[in-house]
Amino acid sequence: MKSLREKLQYSSPILFEIAFDIVAITISYIIHYYIRFESGLFDTDIHPSFVDAFITGTIILLYWLIAFFFAGLYRNWFVRSPFDEFFAVIKTSFFFNFLLFFFVFLDSSARPRLLFLIYFIDITFFVLLGRFLARRLQKYLRQKKIIQVPVVVLGTTQEVLDLMKKVQSYPEWGFDVRAIILLSEEDQSLDVGVPIYKFSDLEKVLEKYHPRELFIAIDKPNHEMLLEIANKCAERQIVVKIVPDLYDVLTGLVKTFPMYSIPLIEISTQLLRPWEAFLKRFLDIVISLFVLIVGLPLWIIVAILIKLDSKGPILYKQERVGKNGKIFICYKFRSMYVDAEKTGPKTTVLNDPRVTRVGLFLRKTHIDEVPQFWNVLKGEMSLVGPRPERPVFIEMYSKMVPLFKRRLVVRPGITGWNQVKSPLFEINEEHLKNRLKDDFYYIENMSLKLDIEIILRTIYLVLRGRGQA
């Protein structure tokens, strides 16, 4: 496990940005208050008390912090383009300043357009100044090695040496290279000041040094090896950065990441923008509550039918693997006989003889999945995502298709892109690869629009009664 110190070190850009934003927003509010009520530039009979001004200022502060969060200004980019940040702050300040004046400060007698312009310039200037000072402070602390990000470098000898030379020449980058993994065993004796390992030691190195990032510098990459590396790092939430000449290997999974003089490509760890992630979770909660509460009379009838049809519990509980490999208990209406797995775990097949009479109907209509809305409410699942698998099948499928575990970077879903596109038949390697393509398509294209499309497709298929029994 990573220490609290390491987590704080890696999160320092966000913490600094929030701290300096609080100061900047507060100063800009005080200046705006003076211009609006004390400068004499605007006619007003209103002179808020200190308490009123303090409460308003606190609300404004929270408003801007939330606005910046949803605009993505608090992403953990350890090395971030100042120009990207510059334009992002201006765009965000303009939009949310417009909303603020439209709903709160709109007062024709006080020349709102002039007030809008003054406050926009005011808050934009101080936020940008604060972000600049935060950068300078972080750079100073990185140079003094007070703030560092643990890194492991992997690759071919010459490329690794070139990268190491640049990292060591610029301590302000703040990267603490803890180990090197060389693909050539002939160069294991190189003296670069850090331990050198073989590629076969990859998992041992990741467990021992707990890097936050893995740099890959390879001359002629092996595609399967890169996929294996990405898979192992995704399981441990390690950010992977690779040199640009590998872009053709991972097209669609990565974004360009400028690191000073070295343009890198980063395997995306943030699949949704903050506001989209918030709305996705909000929809999960609202729709789950609606289904569970409004449909309660029907679910009671289903429970009674299950008890009358065969012996056993109403609900079927089973361990499933969730986001980042976390095990959780998944709930379903029981659709099989109680001794269905007396000979061991088995995947469901078409016309499965273990399915009860009521279970046949439940599976055809997908009503057996309804209790999983409780899993959604608990945050273990989402409405839309790759279907959760049992631990034993995760290991079995991963041996057949090594990249299978990469599905675990998102919450599993009640329904998904694969479920609305392909019927479930016999599990084989070809089927798993096609299923994985669908799951990756969803992960790489995650959006509220795609979620809504999948939900509507699911409703259509449920109404048609399409399902596996």
pLDDT (tens digit, 9 = 90+) per residue, 199-227?
889 989 999 998 988 998 887 767 677 77
Of 87-101, 394-408, 444-458, minimum mean pLDDT range: 394-408
Residue where a domain stops, chosen among 243, 267, 291: 267
Q: Are residues 245 and 231 in the same domain?
A: yes
pLDDT exceeds cutoff 50 at 131: yes
Q: What share of the chain is helix, strand, coil (3-state, %, to 5)?
A: 60, 15, 30
Which pTM value belongs to this model?
0.66
Q: Are residues 343 and 304 in the same domain?
A: yes
pLDDT for the residue numbered 469: 42
Q: Are residues 424 and 359 in the same domain?
A: yes
Q: What is the mean pLDDT of residues 257-280?
A: 69
Tokens of 60: 């404004």
Give the HSE-up count for residue 450: Cα atoms under 13 Å, Cβ half-sphere: 18
Identify whether 469 is part of a domain.
no
pLDDT exceeds cutoff 90 at 243: no
Residues 6+ apart with CB under 8 A from 414: 369, 372, 373, 376, 381, 382, 383, 384
Q: Are residues 430 and 303 in the same domain?
A: yes
Q: Are residues 321 and 452 in the same domain?
A: yes
Residue where a domain stops, chosen among 237, 267, 297: 267
Q: Closest Cα to residue 378, out of 322, 438, 429? A: 322
Q: Are residues 363 and 339 in the same domain?
A: yes
Q: What is the mean pLDDT of residues 158-172?
A: 84
Q: Are residues 304 and 444 in the same domain?
A: yes
How far is it, in rounded angstroms, from Cα 459 to Cα 465?
A: 10
Identify whether 290 is part of a domain.
yes
Report how many domains make up the chain.
3
Q: Are residues 380 and 233 in the same domain?
A: no
Q: Are residues 426 and 289 in the same domain?
A: yes
Q: Are residues 127 and 153 in the same domain?
A: no
Residue where a domain stops, chosen among 120, 143, 166: 143
pLDDT exceeds cutoff 70 at 397: yes
Identify whether 364 is part of a domain.
yes
Domain span at 193: 149-267
Confidence of residue 252 (pLDDT cuts 50, 70, 90): very low
Tokens of 386: 């790759």
CA dihedral 242, 248, 249, 250 (to 10 degrees): 70
Contact criterion met (CB below 8 Å) for 403 and 382: no
How far is it, in rounded angstroms, from Cα 238 to Cα 47?
A: 53
Identify whether 59 is part of a domain.
yes
CB environment 126-145: b (16+ within 10 A), e (fewer): bbbebbeebbeebeebbeee
Helices (H) and strands (E) in the chain, counts: 15, 11
Q: Are residues 260 and 126 in the same domain?
A: no
Q: Are residues 82 and 115 in the same domain?
A: yes
pLDDT exceeds cutoff 50 at 251: no
